[in-house]
Amino acid sequence: MKSKFLVFQPWITLLFRLILGGVLLAAGGLKVGHLQKSAMAVRAYEVLPISLANLVGYSLPWIEIGIAIFLILGIFVKQSAIAGGVLMFLFIVGISQAAIRGLSIDCGCFGGGGQVAAGKTKYLVEILRDCVLLVTALVLSKFPRGKFGLDR
């Protein structure tokens, strides 16, 4: 049983790296060309002070792309997975508080974002997706060594 796990684990790690990295790359890539919209999406959560929300909006897409490239290439997988996991945790907290407070916003995870009509929110799907990605990140931080990575 143990040996079988040792055979599959590197491939699972590779798969998870590509999933988490791929999602983060898409998320960052779709936002990085629309930074005003990205900042708007962060402000709409009504958590951070305006100037800080704008700072996050302008820089978060780049950070997502950075973590994604590290994960896909397999560089500093453990640290990148932890960083990705922290992001997912913060996203879950952010979306949950928006849902609880009754804000009507789109999460802006893959571009877009900001206020939407009441009843057009998709908080449950967004939170579930980020939970799955959080688990992926946790597994990667535990088993960072995988196939086709520059780490060793």
Partner 1 sequence: MAKSPKTKNSAGGASGSGDNFTRWLVAGMVGLVLIVGVAFSLFSNRTNTAATLPSTVKQSDGYGISFNSNVKPVVDIWEDFQCPVCKNFESVVGDYINQLIVEKKISVVYHTLSFIGDESILAANAAACASEEDKFLPFHSLLYQTQSAKENTGLWNAKSLVELGSQVGATSEKFVSCVNKGTYAAWVSNVATDGAKKNVNSTPTVFINGIEIDRKTQYFDLAAFKAALVAGGLKG
When asked if residue 44 is in the footprint of partner 1 (CB under 8 A), the reply is yes
Q: Of all helices (H) and strands (E), which one includes residue 76?
A: none
Among 22, 62, 101, 124, binds partner 1 (CB under 8 A): 62
CA distance 37 to 43: 10
CB 151 within 8 A of CB 143: no
CB of 63 to partner 1, least distance (A): 7
When asked if residue 29 is in the footprint of partner 1 (CB under 8 A), the reply is no
Would you tell me how many other CB atoms lie within 10 Å of the CB of residue 65?
19
Among 20, 24, 25, 40, binds partner 1 (CB under 8 A): 40
When asked if residue 5 is in the footprint of partner 1 (CB under 8 A), the reply is no
Among 16, 23, 27, 43, binds partner 1 (CB under 8 A): 43
CB 14 within 8 A of CB 71: no
When asked if residue 114 is in the footprint of partner 1 (CB under 8 A), the reply is yes
CA distance 68 to 144: 14
CA distance 82 to 59: 19
When asked if residue 97 is in the footprint of partner 1 (CB under 8 A), the reply is no
When asked if residue 112 is in the footprint of partner 1 (CB under 8 A), the reply is no
CA distance 54 to 38: 8
CB of 66 to partner 1, least distance (A): 4
When asked if residue 9 is in the footprint of partner 1 (CB under 8 A), the reply is yes
> CA-CA distances (angstroms) from residue 47 to 44, 93, 126?
8, 10, 18
Q: Which spans of this chain sit near partner 1 (rule: CB under 8 A)?
A: 6, 9-10, 32, 34-37, 39-40, 43-44, 50-51, 54-55, 58-59, 62-63, 65-66, 69-70, 73, 75-76, 78-79, 114-115, 145-152
